[in-house]
Amino acid sequence: MKHAGLVVLGLLTVLGVPGQGDEPKKPNTLMRRKLEQSQKVLEGVAVQDFKKIAEHAEELIELSKQAEWKVLKTARYELYSNESRRIAETLVEGARKKNIDAAALAYVDLTLTCVKCHKHVREEQRTE
């Protein structure tokens, strides 16, 4: 996982670290928790700790069920939200099967979905 640091840097950029683009200076509590859980999943993937991967992917699934998760009411946001949850379930499945390749690929998919969703949210906020 040579590029794990780049993935984390990318997540930090899109998840609202202070001073990045149009994101808020201080990310909300749910966003902070999503970032923390994502980082723990990455740590699990990097060290091949399947229990950690599954545990924190399940936390991401639970977070996605909270009302605060739904920041927009657009079809695209709903699509990204459902896709994130589905990919987190794939992460759990990969971890349970002890398939590091599947878990790593799911993590990359999750990251890309996060990036797309955050871009969508920023674009929608600009048009308000």
Token representation of residue 34: 């999503």
pTM (2 d.p.): 0.76
Other C-beta atoms lying within 10 Å of the C-beta of residue 7:
20
- For residue 113, give the CATH number of its domain: 1.20.120
pLDDT level of residue 27 (50, 70, 90 thresholds): low
For 41-87, the pLDDT digits (tens) are 999 999 999 999 999 999 999 999 887 778 889 999 999 999 999 99
- Measured CA angle at 106 (ends 105, 109), to 5 deg: 90
Helix/strand number for the chain, H first, E second: 5, 0
CB burial of residue 14 (10 Å; 0-12, 13-18, 19+)? buried
Crossing angle for the helix pair 75-96 and 50-64, to the nearest 10 degrees: 160
Average pLDDT score over residue span 19-23: 44
Range of the domain at 40: 4-127
Q: Which of 41, 9, 17 is nearest to 110 (CA)?
A: 41
> How many domains is the chain built from?
1
